[in-house]
Amino acid sequence: MIVTTAELFKVAYGEFAVGAYNINNMEQCIGLFEGNLQSNAPFILQISRGARDYARVKMLEGLIRAAEDIYPEAIFAVHLDHGNEEACFDVIESGFYSSVMIDASHYPLEENIAITRRVVERAHDKGMSVEAELGMLGGVEEDIRVDEKHAMLTDPDEAEEFVERSGCDSLAVAIGTSHGAYKFTGRQGLHLERLAEIQERLPGFPLVMHGSSSVPREEVERINAAGGAMDPSARGVDEDEFAKAVPLGVTKVNIDTDGRLVWTRVHREYFRDHPEKFDFRAPGKIFMAEYANFIAHKNQKLNSAGYLEKVRAALT
């Protein structure tokens, strides 16, 4: 059942973070639903502009509708990840998604507020909620690359002003994470002290953590042992830190890269071990099962596992 993102956040705040997982194809979609049901967790299925270009808007919508039918017990929201104004308006008009993210964080504050405000007005007219971003994460997102020295933590005073003036419903904050596989070079980690200051200014307001993949060392090593050439020092967010972020207001955690690593590892290993094979359905099956296990594991760490019935009860 597709629900609004706001309904999920209402139950989640302070108790768990909703896992927000990107999909681009059928295998990810099936693995995602099975992993969430395996762990009895509500979730957010999110679609980037890149995914809309890759798989086609209609194909993704068809996949999601089919999955809703195949897995009637699932409770999830459908969210546009890193939208620009044009993509947000397109999604709002389509009426299919639960919520949009307008990412105008690379503009100066006043422009970010003005753009977000315009999207909020259109979205709220249709009963949809809006996630905005303030501060600058490092890494690559859509077509924008931000290097570490230009990444900027979210300023708590600005966050309070931004939410009030833009009218957004949740806020993606920069607290040290970045997109992609290469997040931390030294001993950096989450800036939980900054998160606490933001929560103090915005009590009860849902905060979002992007760039939250863990980039497991073992996964990178297996990819490289099967012919990959990833930087072996790649490191992500310590998944045990999610439990510290939840009481500080984080209700949505975005994970994409880790799923890509599962895909890459499964396919590299399969074709290394079976060089004579060419039927992609064999590794596809392995991937779907492994991705489902991965999702179930992440939901344990986010503490969303086991909350499905509580969310269902809150909806009725």
Q: Which residues are catalytic?
A: 81
The region of 1-9, 91-99, 156-164, 208-216 touching ligand 13P under the rule CB under 6 A is: 208-216
By rule CB under 6 A, what count of residues binds ligand G3H?
A: 10
- Given Zn ion, ligand 13P, ligand G3H, none, residue 173, with its beta carbon under 5 to 8 Å by kind, binds none
Closest to 158 (Cα-Cα) out of 171, 146, 145, 147: 171
Taking CB under 5 A as the rule, does residue 183 contact Zn ion?
no
296 in Cβ contact with 31 (< 8 Å): no
Taking CB under 6 A as the rule, does residue 105 contact ligand G3H?
no
Burial 17-44 (b: 16+ CB within 10 A, else e): bbbbbbbbbbbbbbbbbbbbbebbbbbb
Taking CB under 6 A as the rule, does residue 83 contact ligand 13P?
no
Beta strands in 13-93 (DSSP E): 18-22, 43-48, 76-83
Site for ligand G3H, residues 122 to 141, rule: CB under 6 A: 141
> β-pairing, 76-83 with 43-48?
parallel
Nearer to ligand 13P, 22 or 170 (CB): 22
Q: At 136, phi and psi to the nearest 5?
A: -135, 115
93 in Cβ contact with 125 (< 8 Å): no
Structure token pair of residue 223: 């990819």
Taking CB under 6 A as the rule, does residue 254 contact ligand 13P?
yes
The region of 48-56, 70-78, 94-102, 128-136 touching ligand G3H under the rule CB under 6 A is: 48-56
The region of 104-112, 250-258, 289-297, 299-307 touching ligand 13P under the rule CB under 6 A is: 250-258
Nearer to ligand 13P, 180 or 283 (CB): 180
The region of 64-72, 194-202, 251-259, 274-282 touching ligand 13P under the rule CB under 6 A is: 251-259
- Given ligand 13P, ligand G3H, Zn ion, none, residue 115, with its beta carbon under 5 to 8 Å by kind, binds none
Structure token pair of residue 2: 């597709």
The region of 20-28, 39-47, 155-163, 209-217 touching Zn ion under the rule CB under 5 A is: 209-217
Q: At 80, phi and psi to the nearest 5?
A: -85, 125
- How is residue 67 annotated by DSSP? H
For Zn ion, which residue of 49, 210, 265, 298 counts as binding (CB under 5 A)? Answer: 210
- Which three-class secondary structure state does DSSP give residue 196? helix
212 in Cβ contact with 255 (< 8 Å): yes
Taking CB under 6 A as the rule, does residue 219 contact ligand G3H?
no
Taking CB under 6 A as the rule, does residue 212 contact ligand 13P?
yes
- Residue whose structure tokens are 């086609």: 56
- How is residue 306 annotated by DSSP? T
Consecutive H or E run containing 143: none
102 in Cβ contact with 88 (< 8 Å): yes
For ligand 13P, which residue of 49, 52, 179, 194 counts as binding (CB under 6 A)? Answer: 179
- Given ligand G3H, ligand 13P, Zn ion, none, residue 142, with its beta carbon under 5 to 8 Å by kind, binds ligand G3H
Taking CB under 6 A as the rule, does residue 256 contact ligand 13P?
yes
Interatomic CA distance for residues 289 and 274, integer angstroms: 19
Binding positions for ligand G3H, rule: CB under 6 A: 22, 48, 50-51, 81-82, 141-142, 179, 256
Binding positions for Zn ion, rule: CB under 5 A: 210, 254
Binding positions for ligand 13P, rule: CB under 6 A: 22, 81-82, 179-180, 210-213, 254-258
